[in-house]
Amino acid sequence: MARLSILLFLIQIVLAVIALISCLSAEEERIRALPRFAWVLIILVFPLIGSIAWFLAGRPAPAAPAGPASARGGGGRVKRPVAPDDDPEFLKSIAEQSRREDADLFRRWEEDLRRREGDLRRREDEQPHEDDRPET
């Protein structure tokens, strides 16, 4: 009988620790029924009842899988931030910025090439040809 009561005590402690971690890591605005501070007190003062109450009444409902509607804020849910590598608008802006930078770089290369070609033509025109040199 003593082993069973020790096992039940350990289960109660583990349940309370898991409930505390869950409560403290939940987003404040998604906690149901009571504020976070009240839930922490309930879990600490009444470990078994408080933990069970947290999981039944206070814990945020599991979120539905994120799809296009949730990314746009549709479906009545709060719009959550999207990671940059998952945000199509951000990826589109990066691609556009890259295209602009590439076009600008290409334009500068062309200008530089034209300038160098012009310099070479001027040098060729300024240098006397071998036939034009006076013989000595």
Mean pLDDT over 72-83 rounds to 60
pLDDT greater than 80 at residue 104: yes
105 is written with which tokens? Answer: 């770089």
Upper half-sphere CA count for residue 31 (Cβ side, 13 Å): 18
**In the predicted structure, residue 69 carries a pLDDT above the cut 60:** no
Residue 17 banded pLDDT, cuts 50, 70, 90: very high
The residue extents of the domains of the chain are: 2-61, 85-126
pTM above 0.85, yes or no: no
What are the tens digits of pLDDT across the range 113-129?
Answer: 999 999 999 988 887 76
Phi-psi region at 65: left, alpha or beta (left = phi > 0; alpha = psi -120 to 50)? beta
In a 10 Å sphere around its CB, with 0-12 CB exposed, 13-18 middle and 19+ buried, how is residue 40 labelled?
middle
